[in-house]
Amino acid sequence: MRYSIMHETVYDYREPVSLSQQSLHLTPRVAERQRCIEHSLAITPEPAHRIDRIDNFGNPVSVLEFDRPHRRLGIIAQTVIEVSARVSNPATQTSDPWESVASRFEYRAGRPLSASCLRAAMFRVESPFVRVKSVLGDYARECFPLGRPLIESSFALMRKIHREFTFDPDATHIATPMLDVLKKKRGVCQDYAHIMLGCLRSLGLPARYVSGYLLTRPPPGKPRLVGADASHAWIEIYLPEDGWIAFDPTNNVIPDTEHITLAWGRDFGDVSPQRGVILGGGKHQIKVSVTVAPLDAAVAE
């Protein structure tokens, strides 16, 4: 499937901003099942300096520096991307028992890890937005009885989170501690992803945060609204024999052709679409609009 994506961010500042540095994760990364056909960034005002590089997780990142006063910052990312369907259905795959997978990542003197397991190990430990706590392991425990295959346990955990949590954009913000989210069982897709990551890592399993977009469908007979979509988040679990398998606890689905990957990291902080520091500005307003439009006639219908 091919999609046209427009992601627009506008900051309006009450006072002039004299200096600003911004880091953007708005360029889709290379991934196994997707190909970026076109991509551009339109930035107003024009930055004094721009560096395009690859971050520690392999994601494209653009670093911008502004050294002239401005009251508005506008960034438009436009992308045409192609996403291929999965070759196999994870629901029909087999995997080792979850505790066997976890044991492969435990430290044992003199036992080397394979290169792929070593890379995955960075996603097994605590990160700034994802805690490793016994209470998270306890929450997930019923889904992970000894001997149960990792894929089956992961499906069960995804269903549990989807069933017990309520999507509520007013319940949390990005700095809400995840243990508070667990207690309230309310939040947005970033919270769902962080909770599932915390549960998995608390059981010793590598799992990473994925930032991207999700195709949403308008009601029957209604046109697709420009700017009505939003960025999305889900997670991926590492299986030593099969690689990374994606799970979307917000929607209780396995991501396929309607999920478009931007970047992945340990948590939201590693792959925030835009973050930065400014000097001046005072109070400000931010407006973000995202449009994901299918270019395939079969999807558009």
Residue-wise pLDDT for 231-261, tens only, equals 899 999 999 888 899 999 999 999 999 999 9
Determine, yes or no, domain membership for 301.
no
Residues 10 and 128 in one domain: no
Note the pLDDT of residue 245: 94
- The parent domain of residue 17 ranges over 2-84+272-296
Determine, yes or no, domain membership for 165.
yes
Q: In this predicted model, what pLDDT tens digit does every residue of 100-129 receive, in sequence order?
A: 999 988 877 777 878 888 899 999 999 999
Residues 210 and 150 in one domain: yes
| b/e 78-97 (16+ beta carbons within 10 angstroms → b) | bbebbbeeeeeebeeeebbb
Residues 16 and 104 in one domain: no
Note the pLDDT of residue 130: 96
Per the CB < 8 A criterion, the answer to whether 288 and 20 are in contact is no
Residues 202 and 68 in one domain: no
Residues 138 and 211 in one domain: yes
Distance CA(132)–CA(114), nearest Å, equals 24
Residues 124 and 259 in one domain: yes
Confidence of residue 21 (pLDDT cuts 50, 70, 90): very high
Instruction: Provide the percentage of residues in the chain whose pLDDT is more than 70.
Output: 94
Is pLDDT at 99 greater than 90 in this prediction?
yes
CATH number, position 29: 2.60.40.2250
H-run or E-run covering 202: helix 189-202
CATH number, position 207: 3.10.620.30
Residues 135 and 255 in one domain: yes
Confidence of residue 227 (pLDDT cuts 50, 70, 90): low
Query: What is the distance, to the nearest Å, from the Cα of residue 168 to the centroid of all Cα atoms in its chain?
Result: 18
Note the pLDDT of residue 92: 67
Residues 142 and 35 in one domain: no
Domain count, the chain: 2
Mean pLDDT of the chain: 91
- For tokens 């399993």, the residue is 205
Instruction: Provide the percentage of residues in the chain whose pLDDT is more than 90.
Output: 77
- What number is the average pLDDT over the span 196-200? 98
Note the pLDDT of residue 108: 77
Note the pLDDT of residue 219: 65
Note the pLDDT of residue 300: 42
3-state SS string over 222-244? CCCCCCEECEEEEEEEEECCCEE
Confidence of residue 297 (pLDDT cuts 50, 70, 90): very low
Note the pLDDT of residue 198: 97
Sign of torsion, CA 10 12 18 22?
Answer: negative
